[in-house]
């Protein structure tokens, strides 16, 4: 199950050096969380079934059971698979098996990050559309995507985000909620998700305080998308569950009561 703001991952490789390199790369990416390491496919099968990761970094040639044989034992609703191997001849079979990406050893960090971003885009977009309160038929005709974006400018009526060579104008009212990932933030709006490099405190200053609530250390929520509060948990119109921090609860309730939500 996709964890808020992070991709839970497992490394499966019988080579110690390869495992260590993958683990090193995982530690450099703020939205990855390593939850298990397996030296063979049998142990990996147990880890995948018990911990339900979002993504598996999977070697192919391993003793007793190959990576492809492992895939055949997984249910159809399996985690995203990134193959890591020294043999290019398996690439076609990998894509026929529906793997997300196929990396050749030795893997560079740039290539590794590209594969991880591909998984993040696919899973985030899938989860967000499942939770959208807007029927898919009413969405604009465009491909949902997550973008590595820089925050550029804030004004009272819009935020200006930099995406590659484009500037994207986003009205605060369009933003559903913001999720913190260390020094990065995810902005969820319309049918898109953008990743921006800035702190939660800085963005909070730029957003209209009458429209948005800081509900815990990791989330800012647009008041209009709040459907209900039960205990210490907010449910948005899309069904997203967001916890309310203990130190934020009084302010959240006071703000909502003031606005008669």
Burial class (CB in 10 A: 0-12, 13-18, 19+), 205: exposed
Residue 223 sits in a domain whose CATH number is 2.40.50.1020
**What pLDDT does residue 143 have?**
34
Determine, yes or no, domain membership for 1: no
90 with 171, same domain: the answer is no
* Distances, alpha carbon 193 to alpha carbons 106, 127, 163, in Å: 31, 11, 12
145 with 210, same domain: the answer is yes
120 with 144, same domain: the answer is no
Six token digits for residue 23: 């683990």
113 with 165, same domain: the answer is no
Q: What is the pLDDT of residues 166-176, one digit of tens each?
A: 667 788 888 99
Mean residue pLDDT across the chain: 79
**What pLDDT does residue 165 have?**
58
Q: What number is the average pLDDT over the span 220-225?
A: 92
116 with 221, same domain: the answer is no
Scanning 81-185, the segments in alpha helix (DSSP H) are 91-96, 109-131
41 with 109, same domain: the answer is yes
123 with 151, same domain: the answer is no
Q: Which of 128, 158, 179 is the last residue of a domain?
A: 128
39 with 93, same domain: the answer is yes
- Number of folded domains that form the chain: 2
Q: What number is the average pLDDT over the span 80-105?
A: 85
**What pLDDT does residue 60 have?**
92
Domain enclosing residue 221, as ranges = 138-258
Query: Considering only CA atoms, which of 164, 167, 122 is closest in space to residue 146?
Result: 122
Q: What number is the average pLDDT over the span 78-107?
A: 86
* pLDDT: which is higher, 35 or 151: 35
Determine, yes or no, domain membership for 166: yes
pLDDT for residue 185 is more than 60: yes
Q: What number is the average pLDDT over the span 229-253?
A: 88
111 with 199, same domain: the answer is no
Longest Cα–Cα distance of the chain, Å, equals 64
* Number of CB atoms found within 10 A of residue 40's CB: 16
Determine, yes or no, domain membership for 2: no
């Amino acid at each position: 199950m996709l964890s808020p703001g992070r991709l839970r991952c497992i490394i499966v490789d019988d080579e110690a050096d390869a495992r260590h390199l993958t683990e090193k790369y995982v530690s450099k990416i703020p939205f990855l969380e390593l939850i298990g390491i397996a030296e063979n496919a049998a142990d990996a099968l147990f880890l995948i079934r018990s911990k339900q990761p979002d993504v598996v970094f999977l070697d192919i040639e391993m003793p007793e059971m190959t990576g492809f044989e492992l895939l055949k034992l997984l249910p159809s609703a399996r985690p995203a698979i990134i193959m890591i191997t020294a043999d290019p001849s398996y690439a076609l079979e990998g894509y026929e098996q529906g793997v997300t990406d196929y990396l050749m050893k030795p893997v560079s960090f740039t290539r590794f990050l590209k594969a991880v971003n591909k998984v993040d885009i696919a899973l985030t977009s899938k989860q967000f559309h499942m939770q959208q309160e807007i029927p898919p038929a009413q969405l604009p005709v465009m491909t949902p995507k997550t973008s590595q974006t820089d925050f550029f400018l804030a004004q009272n009526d819009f935020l200006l985000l930099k995406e590659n060579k484009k500037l994207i104008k986003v009205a605060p009212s369009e933003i559903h909620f913001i999720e913190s990932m260390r020094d990065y933030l995810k902005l969820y709006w319309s049918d898109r998700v953008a990743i921006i490099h800035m702190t939660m405190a800085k963005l909070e200053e730029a957003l209209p305080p009458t429209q948005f609530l800081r509900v815990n250390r990791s989330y800012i929520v647009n008041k209009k998308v709040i459907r209900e509060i039960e205990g210490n948990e907010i449910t948005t119109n899309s069904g997203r569950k967001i916890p309310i921090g203990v130190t934020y609860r009084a302010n959240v309730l006071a703000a909502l009561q003031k606005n008669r939500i």
